[in-house]
Amino acid sequence: MTQNVESHAFQAEVQEVLSLVIHSLYTERDIFLRELISNASDALDKLRFEALTHLDWLPEGETLGIALDADSEARTLTVADNGIGMSKEDLTGNLGRVASSGTRKFLEALKEGSAENTPDLIGRFGVGFYSAFMVADEVVVETRKAGAEEGWRWKSDGQGEYTLEAVDDLPRGTVITLHLKEAQEDEPDYTQEWTLRDIVRRYSDFVEYPIQMEVERTEPKLDDDGEPIEGESQTVTRLETLNSMKPLWTRPKGDISAEEYAEFYKHHAHDWTDPARTIHFKAEGTLEFTALLFLPAQKPMMMGEEGHPKSRLSLYVRRVLVQKECEDLLPVWLRFVRGVVETADLPLNVSRETMQNNRQVAQIRKGLVRRILSDMGKWFEEDREAYE
Ligand code: ADP
Ligand code: MG
């Protein structure tokens, strides 16, 4: 079936970002994968959340996950998720305009500084989806939104325009295919299993969904009794999960390194600097909850601006994210605190309205405030300079 292919121009600001990303000498290109995986993980969160009210969007038995697939001959890498997907409007709104706060911040810093420190700025603020163009000279996004029939293909070489066309029979979710640039001599090859495995472990180990990849292994051939036959081997393909997936806050404090906390914070808060303070605790008693809270090192962007959330804590109930920017967990004056709170003592379908008058929520809030203030007091005594 032939379809109309529409061309669209990138918003001027996006084109500026793309040109910088493409031509910059930024060396830590590995972060493109973290960005794509983080988007996939956000899309899976959204689907999981929406599926609470649209039961048919997530058929029983379907596992939510992220799949990587590399082809070293074709020099392609795909990152696929079965998350919420994007409609045509989502595509034009998100992948053609400046949608992410990181990109916005990058642009602002760029205006203040000079073009020479672009590489540094890319590292500090990240440029989200557009970072794919650091390693790819063409990016194809195929996506179908949950609940929609029609799927779409978005395609661009990052030079001013992207195209859109309707595509039939796409699975729900998003498949992003990167046509990789030739790898420079001293650069990692992003079609190699070990490269990908290493980047995933470094940046995305705590992502809650399995990040899977088919790997090839040479194994000894087995005889009918299951014993290896000497001198005979075979190549087998297996699907492997590259990340450990364990939500960081559920792990014992003593087992978590400062780097793991920092990586989690950056992923969660979309920040590019390490947190100033980490507060991780479990409250036990009549009401049980676990909190992993962070005090950012810098004043969060847009704080106090209209449309900016009053609080930035995510609420999980039994591993399921029920509210991303839950306003009732902290008073407004603590809105700079980021992190997650998990409890088993609330229903999954708590709505924003019922949260406000919920006794348990009020209790959690009290516990959080007490703990944050006591930690800040400690900080004041330990290192007054940093505190101030
Ligand atoms: P951010 O993640 O900070 O919002 P990005 O540039 O990384 O910014 O992504 C822009 C937007 O594109 C996302 O907010 C999301 O709406 C959309 N998007 C990107 N990747 C996906 C995906 N895999 N599935 C669904 N939506 C996506
Ligand atoms: Mg992103």
pLDDT digits (tens, 9 = 90+) for 212-267: 999 988 888 888 888 888 888 888 898 999 998 888 899 999 999 998 899 889 87
Kindly tell me if the per-residue pLDDT of 40 is higher than 80: yes
CA-nearest residue for atom 8, ligand 1, is 100
Q: For residue 357, what pLDDT is reported?
A: 79
Tokens of 296: 């950012």
User: If you measure from the C-alpha of residue 286 to the centroid of ligand 1, how many angstroms do you get, rounded to a whole number?
Assistant: 39
Indicate the pLDDT class of residue 58, thresholds 50, 70 and 90.
very high
98-131 burial, b at 16+ Cβ within 10 Å, e below that, comes to bbbbbbbbbbeebeeeeeeebeebbeebbbbbbb
- Average pLDDT (325-331) is 87
- Mean pLDDT, residues 74-101: 94
Q: Evaluate if residue 76 carries a pLDDT over 60.
A: yes
Answer with the residue of higher pLDDT: 298 or 371.
371
What tokens were used for 10? 């990138």
Q: Is 32 exposed, middle or buried (0-12, 13-18, 19+ CB in 10 A)?
A: buried
Compare 135 and 26 and report the one with higher pLDDT: 135
Flag whether pLDDT at 2 surpasses 80: no
pLDDT of residue 302: 55
**Separation of 49 CA from ligand 1 center, angstroms?**
16
Mean pLDDT, range 89-96, rounded to an integer: 94
Residue 45 has phi, psi (to 5 degrees) of: -55, -45
CA 143 – ligand 1 centroid, Å: 12
Range 66-90 average pLDDT: 97
Question: Are 267 and 206 within 8 A, CB to CB?
Answer: yes
Of the pLDDT bands very low, low, confident and very high (cuts 50, 70, 90), residue 3 is low
**Residue 16 contacts residue 108 (beta carbons within 8 Å):** no
pLDDT of residue 283: 93
**pLDDT-derived band at 328, boundaries 50, 70, 90:** confident
Q: Is the pLDDT of residue 306 over 60?
A: no
Ligand 1 site-directed mutation target among 129, 134, 172, most atoms within 8 Å of CB: 129
CA of 131 to the centre of ligand 2 (A): 10
Cα(81) to ligand 1 centroid in Å equals: 12
In the structure, which protein residues have their CB atom closer than 6 angstroms to any atom of ligand 1? 35, 39-40, 43, 81, 83-84, 86, 94-95, 99-103, 128-129, 174, 270
Q: Would residue 231 be called left, alpha or beta, if left means φ above 0 and alpha means ψ between -120 and 50 degrees?
A: left
Q: Quick check: 317 pLDDT over 60? A: yes
Q: What is the pLDDT of residues 98-148, one digit of tens each?
A: 877 778 888 888 888 776 777 778 877 778 899 999 999 999 999 999 999
The pLDDT value given to residue 209: 93
Largest Cα–Cα separation, the chain = 71
Q: Which atom of ligand 1 is nearest to the CA of 79?
A: 23
